[in-house]
Chain A
Amino acid sequence: MTTEAIGETPAQPAGPARGLRGLLTRNPVVLKELRGRMRGPRAFIVLTAYLLLMSAFVTLLYAIYVASTNSVYNGASSQVVGKFVFGAVVGIELLLVCFIAPAFTAAAISGERERQTYDLLRTTLLTASALVFGKLASALSYILLLLIAAFPLQSLAFLLGGVSPQEVIIATLLLVATAYLFGTSGVFFSSLMRRTLGSTVLTYAFALLATLGLPLVLIALLPLTSMLFNNAPPGPALETILIYGVGFLIASNPIATAVVTEVLLVTEQTAFYFPLPISNGVTLPLVSPWAPFLLFCLVAGTLMTIASILAVRRAET
């Protein structure tokens, strides 16, 4: 009889999933989200379309290269093209991450509220951190899948040459860090907002600010600085502040970070430290922006994750 069978179910739980590893591996939310995302033909179609588009793009670039070797210039070395293909693929992936990471996470918590399953989850023994980590991990793992799937295309650049392992590692780190930053921002806004619409607007506003905000700031500052420089040469103190200020702005922007890192690699032959002499003869110690950018993503993303957990943990008042 069923009554007895129910009565026999173990009342004592298997022990809460402790630690970060437990939060990720023994997390029912991860399983549920991935199961939902991979169900049916949709996941397959998305992945196929994505790879087809990327391949078409790389083929186009390659065709341009082949055509250019027969052209009047005839000087385009395969190394330059290799760099170009690699940069283009990474650039597209970066844009993709900026669009997809918010889309995958902006409904993470608010979607549960709208589906009216949030209250159900909160009355189970599922902890706030398990819910937040589960949502984040499942979104990030899908993005990681997209990045890994495009890896063969990236390595086409190796055939052409001109791309160092250093560049590949830095590019991968940048992509993952960007996905983490925008993924956590989506979870964060969805834990604050009641509605997915509001959360989506805020998440994309954040993503736009982080990617396009820097050029806008620079455009706004340009007249100001030129005015300063025209009237009187800036003092070394002001110059130092300006350089570090612009440096911080660059290191908070994934696109600027990628571009400046690559430029430094080509012009200064460095991926880490480089000295910059200023007008009074002093050299300023500077680092390639990818390292501070990773730090920025790690800190900002982790702070937003903690804030999301606190928002979920708090009982409604």
Chain B
Amino acid sequence: MPAIIETHNLTKRYGALAAVNELSLQVDEGAIYGFVGPNGAGKTTTMRMLTTLLQPTSGQAFVSGCSITRDPRGVRRAIGYMPDFFGVYDDMKVWEYLDFFAACYEIPEATRAGLINDLLELVDLSHRRDDMVDTLSRGMKQRLCLARTLAHDPRVLILDEPASGLDPRARIEIRELLLELSRMGKTIFFSTHILADVAEICTQVGIIEAGRLVAQGSLADMQRRLRPHRRLHITLLGHLPEAHAALVARPGVMEVRQTVVNGEPRPDEAAEAVGQVGADGPASAKTLEVDFTGDDAAVSALLRELVGRGLPVLRFTESVHDLEDVFMHATQGIVS
């Protein structure tokens, strides 16, 4: 697939700090590309360079075939940009706001009225057409800004944290809107902290940390590449030390940990576990978490081994890595 956004060793330095460092990424035409990274990783800086607002220190980037340094006008024609703040005029009505930006995109006056109605309908704001912009709620302003980015029918949308600060319903509405826009054939490049969004709608993911792209690819790709092992959850009614010893001795077992519930160790349970290790406690179930490399046959053999030793296995499951794992694994916390 052809790349509609590509950057080649794109770099932005502020003094000694490399906000974006030799970044090379490709966004496929028609993709929904999730640009993920911790605070201060360089997402906004990258986007400001792609939108021709910021001059790169070195490197090059192309959007829709236009160089961001040599043909900024071509880039501007191709993109709709929504920054991580609203940028609304307080003395304007909703329709005037869209009319103004449509005029800035050189859309002839005769077609603007119809266009504004279409845009308002798309983002579900038709009923607020004549209200002042500053009376809108946060979610509505966000949708209005999204409508603004669509005024000139751009091929690429560059959205900086489109879902930040929204309640769950508004977030889902934005997500639906992005899917709708993607169906209309637009390429969407957006940054986010909300990993659930990425997992739900992205076709491509790039993870950035400290200005460097640490991983890029499809979601499934990334999970395979970053976490090559599988994770098993084995719940036993007792005999934890024996099970622990048996597991550690098996080939392919990398690490065995105890009792993590809902991804967070519960303090009370942890204390209990310490007191009961070694003793045959009451029949309360304990879970071991096993990082394991091996194929399905090896997993099956592992289970057989446990059962064969007479250990009281209650549950035996394998977790699918969620994006949070991938994210935590990929970003080592270089940005404090």
Contact = CB atoms under 8 A, between A and B. Distances in A.
A122 B103 CA distance: 13
A123 interface: yes
Contacts, number: 110
Interface stretch (B30-38, B79-87, B290-298): B79-87
Contact of A123 (B81, B96, B103): B81
Given A2-B121, A6-B119, A315-B52, A124 B92 contact: no
A15 interface: yes
Contacts of B111: 9-10
A124 B101 contact: yes
Contact of A316 (B55, B85, B88, B104): B55
Nearest to A10: B111
A7 B153 CA distance: 7
Given A9-B115, A14-B106, A124-B76, A315 B55 contact: yes
Given A3-B184, A124-B76, A117 B148 contact: no
Nearest to B185: A7
A126 to B, nearest CB: 4
A11 interface: yes
Interface in A269-317: 315-317
A14 B91 contact: no
B205 to A, nearest CB: 25
Contacts of A15: 106
Interface stretch (A27-35, A55-63, A96-104, A173-181): A27-35
B77 interface: yes
Contacts of B103: 28, 31
B87 A117 contact: yes
Given A6-B122, A316-B54, A32 B100 contact: yes
B239 interface: no
Interface string B45-72: 0001001111100000000000000001
A59 to B, nearest CB: 36
A315 B72 contact: yes
Contact of B107 (A3, A9, A36, A316): A9
Interface of B: 48, 51-55, 72-73, 76-77, 79, 81, 83, 85-92, 96, 100-101, 103-108, 111, 114-115, 118-119, 121-122, 148, 150, 152-153, 180, 183-185
29 contacts: A2-B118, A6-B122, A6-B150, A6-B153, A9-B107, A9-B115, A9-B153, A11-B152, A14-B106, A31-B103, A32-B92, A36-B89, A36-B91, A115-B89, A115-B90, A116-B87, A117-B88, A119-B48, A119-B53, A119-B87, A120-B101, A123-B81, A124-B76, A124-B104, A125-B76, A125-B105, A125-B152, A315-B53, A316-B53
